[in-house]
Amino acid sequence: MITIEKSDRLNSLPPYLFKEIDRQKEEVRKRGVDIIDLGVGDPDMPTPPHIIEALNKAAIDPANHRYPSYSGMGDFNEAVARWYKRRFNVDLDYENEVVTLIGSKEGIAHIPLAFINTGDLALVTSPGYPVYHTGVQFAGGQAYFMDLLKENDFLPDFNTVPEEIADKARMMFINYPNNPTSAVATRAFFQEVVAFAESHNIIVCHDAAYTELAFDGYRPISFLEAEGAKATGVEFHSLSKTYNMTGWRIGFAVGRAEVIQALGQIKSNIDSGAFQAVQIAGIAALEEDQACVENINRVYTERRDILVDGLVELGLSVEKPRATFYVWIEVPKGYNSAEFTSHLLSNGGIVVTPGNGFGAAGEGYVRMALTVDKERLKEAVERIGSIGF
Ligand SMILES: *Cc1c(COP(=O)(O)O)cnc(C)c1O
């Protein structure tokens, strides 16, 4: 028997905060309780049929059975550039400023390998999508957390970042519309990001996974719409949430050519690109009728109103999100995130995500996802009403 010792890299990961919830969930399930799971950010609706048809057709073609290009098919990257022009009026050179990803998580996790040396700093938000800091850590770097606070509309306040930290930082990760807080960014904020990045020479990585999930006529903007943004970094995008394609693994990064090319260089040493048939289906998603996106948003709007109106009526402090499928809820007096999560699960059979699982500054909140149907959301509100808090 050889002894198996994990790398310092794996051992240095913070403890898995959802372990205790997983345990409680299992226990509640064993009691035979009908669980309403508002914990996962994974769409429950199917991929629109025209996208599946495009995959079916492409899957039969032997030309698509071979290794794809690691940086993406020219046709897919061109479709991305056209979509950026149509959607955000941003011009992209598809040959140098676009790279296809095997889901945007893949690119987000890999990009620090291109720019972080041992001990280097990256600015990351708290709360935030955990991949930002684990990617940085895996590359040998260290995350400096910028807190997202309610009084700042859950935008980072760059004035609180010490000068020497800002000067040392090589990269920054931000994400609007935001998971988990559902906050949105203004053009003025993105302009501030550009100025801060320029004055401290920081590569900006903006995660734009949720720009297409927005309600009440609101249209989120791209970071690349800010003046000078493209010179400071890249934006990550994904078809996962927009077209209910989380299982398909297709996303992309766009922006500053040297950054895109360095990410491509990392990828060429690790993977061999996304299945071409999936890229062809991705072209169909981006180029064909966008009515499917409107339908998806209509469903989330209805669910949002049922959940948020219900929770507000019960006396919880919640704002109606303008984008994303998350609702960020302040825990009631007398609870912290873990205690309220545990109360909802053990007594109500409702799974939510404790805010501190996304970083220390998420303490005092829980996140609910609108990825179950409205009947279940009504039932969740009723259950919370009957168990109280
Ligand atoms: C879902 C999500 C992603 C990634 O999605 P992929 O399926 O890997 O494209 C990226 N960032 C955030 C904040 C997300 O919530």
Gap between the Cα atoms of 387 and 258, Å rounded: 55
Q: End-to-end distance of the chain based on CA atoms, in angstroms?
A: 52
Q: Are strands 326-330 and 121-126 parallel, antiparallel or unpaired?
A: unpaired
Tell me the CA–centroid distance for residue 210 and ligand 1, in Å: 8
Mean pLDDT of the chain: 96
pLDDT at 44: 96
Atom of ligand 1 nearest to the CA of 106: 8
Q: How far is CA 63 from the centre of its chain?
A: 33
CA atoms within 13 A on the CB side of 387: 17
Nearest alpha-carbon partner for 303 in 370, 218, 369? 370
pLDDT at 21: 83
> Between 3.30.460.10, 3.40.50.300, 3.30.590.10, 3.40.640.10, what CATH number should domain 49-287 receive?
3.40.640.10
Atom of ligand 1 nearest to the CA of 241: 1
- Cβ partners under 8 Å of residue 355, min gap 6: 127, 180, 328, 331, 337, 362, 363, 364, 365, 366, 367
Tell me the CA–centroid distance for residue 237 and ligand 1, in Å: 8
Gap between the Cα atoms of 82 and 305, Å rounded: 34
Tell me the CA–centroid distance for residue 183 and ligand 1, in Å: 16
Q: Are strands 251-255 and 98-101 parallel, antiparallel or unpaired?
A: antiparallel
**For residue 124, what is the enclosing H or E element?**
strand 121-126
Domain residue spans in the chain? 8-46+292-387, 49-287
Confidence of residue 228 (pLDDT cuts 50, 70, 90): very high
Tell me the CA–centroid distance for residue 100 and ligand 1, in Å: 14
Q: At what angle do helices 291-313 and 374-387 cross, to 10 degrees?
A: 10
Residue with tokens 């998806």: 296
Confidence of residue 15 (pLDDT cuts 50, 70, 90): confident
- Domain 8-46+292-387 classified CATH 1.10.3720.10? no
Tell me the CA–centroid distance for residue 374 and ligand 1, in Å: 24
Over residues 276-319, the pLDDT tens digits come to 999 999 999 999 999 999 999 999 999 999 999 999 999 999 99
The yes-or-no verdict on residue 69 having pLDDT over 90 is no
- Cβ partners under 8 Å of residue 171, min gap 6: 111, 112, 115, 116, 122, 123, 136, 202, 203, 204, 205
The yes-or-no verdict on residue 51 having pLDDT over 90 is yes
Query: Which pair of structure tokens corresponds to residue 85?
Result: 């022009």
- Cβ partners under 8 Å of residue 289, min gap 6: 50
Over residues 99-113, the pLDDT tens digits come to 999 999 999 999 999
Gap between the Cα atoms of 160 and 149, Å rounded: 12
CB-defined site of ligand 1, < 6 Å: 41, 103-105, 129, 175, 179, 207, 209, 238, 240-241, 246, 251
Within 209-325, strands assigned E span 233-238, 251-255, 317-318
The residue whose CA has the least distance to atom 12 of ligand 1 is 209
Gap between the Cα atoms of 286 and 378, Å rounded: 33
Atom of ligand 1 nearest to the CA of 246: 7
Confidence of residue 20 (pLDDT cuts 50, 70, 90): confident
Over residues 88-97, the pLDDT tens digits come to 999 999 999 9
Q: 3-state DSSP call for residue 351?
A: strand
The yes-or-no verdict on residue 70 having pLDDT over 80 is no
The yes-or-no verdict on residue 14 having pLDDT over 90 is no
Atom of ligand 1 nearest to the CA of 178: 13
Atom of ligand 1 nearest to the CA of 249: 7
Gap between the Cα atoms of 90 and 228, Å rounded: 12
pLDDT at 177: 98
Tell me the CA–centroid distance for residue 1 and ligand 1, in Å: 40
Q: 3-state DSSP call for residue 174?
A: strand
- Cβ partners under 8 Å of residue 15, min gap 6: none
